[in-house]
Amino acid sequence: MMNKDRILYVVGIGPGHMNNMTKEAIDALEDSEIIIGYKTYISLIEDMVKDKEIVESPMKGEVERCKMALELANNSKKVAIVSSGDPGVYGMAGIIYEVAERENIDIEIKVIPGVTAASAAASILGAPLMHDFAIISLSDLLTDWELIKRRVQLAAEGDFAICLYNPKSKKRVEHIKITRDIMLKFRAPETPVGIVKNAKRDDEEVFITNLKGMLDYPIDMFTVVLIGNSNTKIINGKMVTPRGYNL
Ligand SMILES: C[S@@+](CC[C@H](N)C(=O)[O-])C[C@H]1O[C@@H](n2cnc3c(N)ncnc32)[C@H](O)[C@@H]1O
């Protein structure tokens, strides 16, 4: 029987500062006694959560972080676990449900959506995601690299605009190059590409280039790479994928 008095908020804090957070996310943080999250994300919202108990956790300890959040909420504390962007997009939402099932903790889990990095970056670049698009993470920590390459190829063949998350890390430097080479089999070298680092944060960086030139720009784990479809063009310095209207 679900214990309805106990709530764990899984909060999407958006890409950067508070003004990109939803009202629902702000309300959930205000309602919480304890805030749990990776320290970079906590630092983005520190002004808002000064009067709360803060539990910062390391990047890799996701399962432990979820277990702790569920146990605290089950012990009648109001708890929020935070994810950057949207918690349902490579965030904490799924793993919270899985750990709750494994630990047999039957409380209400409330997932609060946020502005995901793809939407934030698209708004900065112009309007590159106006038509069908695919989001693909190049991280092979939890997904087999052969499967990732297959998805890149199928999205390229299908002429989807593509937004790459986790495009390149210090150790994983070749995946972005291999991805670009797969794309070039199906798309022109001049296809527009937008690179956005730290979207909506103080140190935001934005580049618009093309498939041929994209590897000459800085790409890391704080970056998303948006590759246009075969109709994407540059209008007044902005990247635009036409929806198909007759003008
Ligand atoms: C594990 S995923 C988390 C995605 C997050 N849940 C979301 O909805 O945006 C981490 C990746 O998201 C992308 N990312 C997240 N926030 C970003 C931002 N503000 N600017 C650019 N890329 C970002 C980067 O590609 C990063 O490697």
Instruction: Report yes or no on 247 lying in a domain.
Output: no
Tens digit of pLDDT at every position of the chain (247 positions)? 566 678 999 999 999 888 999 999 999 999 999 999 988 888 889 889 999 999 987 667 889 999 999 999 999 889 999 999 999 999 999 999 999 999 999 999 999 999 999 999 999 999 999 999 999 999 999 999 999 999 999 999 999 999 999 999 999 999 999 999 999 999 999 999 999 999 999 999 999 999 999 999 999 999 999 999 999 999 999 999 999 999 9
Do 28 and 93 share a domain, yes or no? yes
Q: pTM score, two decimals?
A: 0.95
Q: Are 129 and 122 in contact (CB under 8 A)?
A: yes
**133 and 217 belong to one structural domain:** yes
60 lies in the same domain as 157: no
Q: Assess whether 58 and 85 both reside in one domain.
A: yes
- The values of phi and psi at residue 7, to 5°, are -125, 135
What's 217's domain CATH number?
3.30.950.10
- Ligand 1 shell residues, CB under 6 Å: 15-16, 83-86, 89-91, 116-117, 120-121, 165-167, 196-201, 221-224
What is the Å distance from ligand 1's center to 85 Cα? 7
Q: Are residues 196 and 96 both part of a single domain?
A: no
Q: Residue 31 maps to which CATH number?
A: 3.40.1010.10
Atom of ligand 1 nearest to the CA of 221: 27
Q: Best substitution site from 84, 129, 137, 175 to test ligand 1's pocket, by max atoms within 8 Å of Cβ? A: 84
Q: How many domains does the chain have?
A: 2
Distance, in Å, from the CA atom of 179 to the CA atom of 189, rounded to the nearest integer, reads 13
Residues 70 and 153 in one domain: no
Answer yes or no: is 149 within a domain.
yes
Domain boundary among 61, 85, 112: 112
25 inside domain: yes
Residue with CA closest to ligand 1 atom 22: 223
Q: Which atom of ligand 1 is nearest to the CA of 198?
A: 20
Specify the pLDDT at position 59.
Answer: 64
| Statement to judge: residues 129 and 106 lie in one domain | no
Q: Please report whether residue 245 resides in a domain.
A: no
Inside any domain, residue 153: yes
Q: What are the distances in angstroms from CA 135 to CA 63, 87, 116, 119, 185? A: 24, 15, 11, 11, 19
Among 112, 132, 151, the domain-final residue is: 112
Same domain, 156 and 171: yes
Which of 123, 224, 227 is the pocket-test mutation for ligand 1 (most atoms within 8 Å of CB)?
A: 224
- 156 and 169 in a single domain? The answer is yes
Q: Is residue 126 part of a domain?
A: yes
- The boundaries of the domain holding residue 73 are 3-112
* Ligand 1 centroid – CA 222 distance (Å): 6
**Where among 112, 141, 168 does a domain terminate?**
112
Does residue 9 share a domain with residue 88? yes
Is 177 part of any domain? yes
Answer yes or no: do 123 and 214 share one domain: yes
Are 132 and 106 contained in the same domain?
no
